[in-house]
Amino acid sequence: DAGVIQSPRHEVTEMGQEVTLRCKPISGHNSLFWYRQTMMRGLELLIYFNNNVPIDDSGMPEDRFSAKMPNASFSTLKIQPSEPRDSAVYFCASSKGGRVAEAFFGQGTRLTVV
Amino acid sequence: DAKTTQPTSMDCAEGRAANLPCNHSTISGNEYVYWYRQIHSQGPQYIIHGLKNNETNEMASLIITEDRKSSTLILPHATLRDTAVYYCIVNTGTASKLTFGTGTRLQVTL
SS3 B33: strand
Q: Measured between alpha carbons, how far apart are the two ends of chain A, in Å?
A: 35
pLDDT for the residue B98: 81
Is residue A98 predicted with pLDDT exceeding 60? no
Q: What span, in angstroms and rounded, lies between the C-alpha atoms of A97 and A99?
A: 6
Q: Before B76, cis peptide (omega within 30)?
A: no
Nearest to A107 among B42, B49, B95 (CB): B42
Q: Which residues of B touch A56 (CB under 8 A)?
A: 97
Could you tell me which chain A residue has the CA closest to the CA of B102?
A: A42
Using alpha carbons, list the distances in angstroms from residue A113 to A86, A93, B41, B52. Answer: 7, 23, 19, 45
Interval A17-37: pLDDT, tens: 999 999 999 999 989 999 999
Q: What span, in angstroms and rounded, lies between the C-alpha atoms of B107 and A71?
A: 41
Is residue B2 predicted with pLDDT exceeding 70? no
Q: How confident is the model at residue B99 (pLDDT cuts 50, 70, 90)?
A: confident
- % helix / strand / coil in chain B, to the nearest 5? 5, 45, 50
Q: How confident is the model at residue A79 (pLDDT cuts 50, 70, 90)?
A: very high
Angle ∠(A39,A44,A47) on CA atoms, nearest 5: 145
Amino acid, res. A44: E
pLDDT for the residue A74: 96
Interface test with B, best of A45, A60, A91, A102 (most B CBs within 10 A): A102
Interface test with B, best of A37, A43, A57, A91 (most B CBs within 10 A): A43
Average pLDDT score over residue span A29-53: 93
pLDDT for the residue A2: 81
Mean pLDDT of chain A: 93
**CB interface of A with B, residues 16-35, below 8 Å:** 31, 33
A61-98 exposure pattern, b = at least 16 Cβ within 10 A, e = fewer: eeeebebebeebeebebebeebeeebbbbbbbbbbeee
Interval B55-70: pLDDT, tens: 999 999 999 999 999 9
Interface contact A102-B97, CB threshold 8 A = no
pLDDT for the residue A92: 97
- % helix / strand / coil in chain A, to the nearest 5? 5, 55, 45
Judge whether B20 and B106 are in contact, CB under 8 Å: yes
Average pLDDT score over residue span B34-48: 94
Q: Which of A98-102, A107-111, B49-53 has the lowest mean pLDDT?
A: A98-102
Average pLDDT score over residue span A58-64: 91
Interval B68-97: pLDDT, tens: 999 999 999 999 999 999 999 998 766 567
pLDDT: is B17 or B92 the higher one? B17
